[in-house]
Structure formats: C-alpha cells, structure tokens
Amino acid sequence: MSAVDTAFHGLRALIADGTLSAGDRLPSESELCDRFGVSRSSLREAIRTLAALGVVETRHGSGTYVSSLLASDLLGSLSLTVGLLPLESVLELYELRRVLESHAAGLAAARRDEETVAELSALLDELERTHDDDEQSRLDHLFHMRIVELSGNPALSTLTGVLRTRSMAYRIFTTADAREIKRRSDAGHRAILTAIANRDPVAATSAAAEHVQQTEVWLRKHRPAARSTISDTAG
C-alpha cells in the first residue's frame, strides 16, 4: 500500500468509526503524519482525494474539516466516475434506474398535490410539442426529476440524477426511427402522469418501470455514440 493510500484509509477510518464526526476539524498535519507514518505531501494528496469525494472541506486560513456527511452530497460525487462509463456499463445501470424511478413514481402518486400535477402536465405539454433533441432531453430530465423530488428523499434524488445524467450522453431522438421513439416516449410519460394524477401508486410504479425499460431497449438497438455531458444536467 502506498503512503497516500495509508493516509487515505487512515483518515477514512477515523471518520467511519466516529473519532472524527461531521463538522470536526482535522488534527494538525504533523499529528496526522506521525499517526499514519507518512509525509506531508502524501497526507495532503489523501486529503485532496477526500475533498474531491465530498468527505472533507478545506477552509482557507482555518484548516480542514469533515463535511456534513449528508448522503445526498456524498452520492453526488459518483458523477466523477459514472460520467466516464461507456455504453455497455451504462446499460448495466438501467436495472438500478428502473428500481429507483419506479419507486419514486409510486411515492409521487401517493404524495402529489394539484399544483404538482399541473406543473408536470405543463412540462409534458411542452415536451410533446418540441422535436429539438437538446430541448427534449432537458424537458425529459425536468419531468422525471420533479417526480423523484416528490419522494422527499434527497439521496434518492441525487443518485437518480447521477444515473440519468450519464444516460443523457447517449441520444436516441436523432436515430432512423426517432418519430416512433418519440411517440412511445410521450405515451409513456402520459401513462406515468395519469397514474400520479389518479393517486395510483401501483400504476405509477408499473408505468415508470416500463418507460425506463423501453429506453434501455432503444439504446441497445441503436447504440449511439456518446456525447459530452460536462455541462449537461439531464439524462
């Protein structure tokens, strides 16, 4: 194990076992170097890695502190790696997306209010009218993520958003059967919204699962090339 790994896992252990809690200031560099038997440069590299993962944060002139350790914040750091996945690996994630998004749709159906139904309906009206690839992707993301947000679980929202963002890199609305894809996609969205509006969690769960599965089928069929998602927020 390298010195950087030693420092990384040492710090991780201190946080995992509660020796350092959310909001705590890390001990001095000299103390940590002595504790782990590593150099300052190795320790600093380990801290930079933990900072990139959202585990710690360095405050200029004050020191390094353990972050709030919120699940949603830490799951968000998965975008650093999920954003690198090729299509074959992205397709493996679709089973997870089906579980997450269908569960969220069921919760949305149980918790929705009239204002939210109207908001989703307006988004869907706009989505059905457009044939612009980028705009379809943006509106599709807003529609699905608004449903997930109704779950009231920030971790669920963050993880779903990370998975959807990478999926967005592989566009299917410019393929040869784009018209049929859009028709079926719009119909799938309507089925989800109708179930939510009717306060029918079972139907909402089923409609969302079928919608995600159909997207996976199209991706497997067309296998489009990836597009950059550095500045994207949708999937």
Residue 161 forms part of a structural domain: yes
Residue 229: its pLDDT value, please?
A: 55
C-alpha to C-alpha distance for 37 and 168, rounded to whole angstroms: 45
The stretch 185-202 carries a mean pLDDT of: 97
Residue 233 forms part of a structural domain: no
40 lies in the same domain as 142: no
Q: What is the CATH number of the domain that holds 178?
A: 1.20.120.530
| 165 φ, ψ (degrees, to nearest 5) | -60, -45
Quote the tokens at residue 4. Answer: 């950087």
Residue 231 forms part of a structural domain: no
Of 31, 54, 69, the residue that ends a domain is: 69
Q: Which domain holds residue 37?
A: 3-69
Q: What is the CATH number of the domain that holds 23?
A: 1.10.10.10
* C-alpha 84 chain-centroid distance: 14
Of 54, 69, 84, the residue that ends a domain is: 69
In total, the chain counts a number of residues equal to 235
The stretch 231-235 carries a mean pLDDT of: 37
Residue 151: its pLDDT value, please?
A: 87
61 lies in the same domain as 95: no
Residue closest to 191 by CA, chosen among 225, 183, 71, 67: 183
42 lies in the same domain as 132: no
Of 69, 89, 120, the residue that ends a domain is: 69
Residue 232: its pLDDT value, please?
A: 40
The answer to whether the CB of 131 falls within 8 A of the CB of 158 is: no
Residue 25, strand partner residues:
65
The stretch 6-19 carries a mean pLDDT of: 97
Considering the entire predicted model, what is its pTM?
Answer: 0.85
Question: Helix (H, G, I), strand (E, B), or coil: what is residue 24?
Answer: coil
Give me the number of domains the chain comprises: 2
Average pLDDT, the chain: 93
The stretch 216-231 carries a mean pLDDT of: 82
pLDDT at 233 over 50: no
